[in-house]
Structure 1
């Protein structure tokens, strides 16, 4: 193992240790802990999107459909039949995989902005269906998750926010592990070959359509699982929120692009910048200036892309290398 890899593993272990210990000194019912939960959740969501958007450069704007399928599936089964959200999440993951399969059959042959627009349309279709199917989803009124904190882990509900934090931390680490396994496997090399030059990848024998299909299904399954966790954490949601393009799909992409697309730590950095920035903007100025949070991280994204289009991590690495060269000189 090289010195660089050793330092990377040590830094990763230190970050994970900090994330484990940090909330122990916080108010278990506090607002700050809820923000940390959302940061971990959106980090995991960005990591799931990173499989297709970062490694293969398939810019999907329809991931809110998978997220909403996971949230609605587990909530409906829990509220109507008493099925544990743990089992309900499995149903949502299967349904999301089927939706991804049906969506991928026509759209994966598209490229660039055509693919992005096609996935955006699919996400909007899911939102319209959820708004219209009132008997199942509650329509625009939304749907509430039954509150049963006495059930504990069976219902993914707890007396304080602290267990949710560790649940989200585990989900974030799990999705990051899946991304790392994909990134370092032959499958990941095929995805990166598609990102660099899809025609050249086909010439050397890569079945680009099948590789992108598998990546899309895997990303959909992970996103649906996270939709279940979100539903049990918020206890209420509606189609415009859970299937929202700006609130879910675009934010997932922004988190990855801001941090560094195709990198393991890209969503970590992006989520830990965007989510607190959005919450502060909403808390202090949201009442007087509507939509300020979206404007703020939009400006931040533009600045980062102008300085270094590969994201914050690449920018930090560039500054580090410049500092090392100057110190050696």
Structure 2
């Protein structure tokens, strides 16, 4: 596996496609990026007209971008094409990838729900075509297999230790820090409301100010933070809060690794997947309701040594789940699939072998 093509929306720092690109480069591969935001600039546009155009005529617009992708594929001829979020990849383009090497996809969103930003007819037609499909939930692995994916694999998110590392403040100014956007389910509102009278730091989009219906949270949000600012923010708090979006409740999210990678105690909404990744009350602390969250915050603040011990254990777990580990797993799978394909060819043409 010498040449890897990374396909995603953008190659900006911290995006899944950029993180994996760095991982493959560190592994010794020649990496080429293809960004939909450059091939189809209207995709990244915030104008109302472009948003309407994509909703109404996305297939026509995306076919033009796929032609540019095919030109990149034919020029680069990758041994492996790694796609992050495939909603703009035409099924025929997947077959074009496979003229040169293997094609794998990492579903960063749930492709078997009904949300238009997660799935569409192309995504669904592509299910049986990928050489392998990765996803962050064991339950969704089974759902993908039921939908025709021939090789679906559990692939957790990971720590990006190049950008996320401990920057602990000697005297944290927050009890709890939460980095995350407002969510239409309003679940995040209810959890934050339960601990709003503690020293709570909140970062996210302006929707916290325009859409949030809890007066106690109004004006609390300090705006968006950059990928590089995450260690400073989490280092300024005694605990980092993780509240899952509804689509991640059957799995986990990127915060699962971002928080412990900074040496901060992860206080997370409980899920079966998370419990298997970070041991409860040893490597992370969990809650399942606003009342339980408040009780856990109160107890932990009274036990600073426990905060320190759990944070350190979580940090050590994060260090053995880095992008290098995930890329190594993909490289091992690549070798297995290539060996399997070679065996199949020998069976089909024994005299030539």
What TM-score, normalized by structure 1, do the two folds share?
Answer: 0.23
Structure (1 or 2) with the greater strand fraction: 2
| Larger RCO (CA under 8 A, 6+ residues apart) | 1
Structure (1 or 2) with the greater helix fraction: 1
What TM-score, normalized by structure 2, do the two folds share?
Answer: 0.22
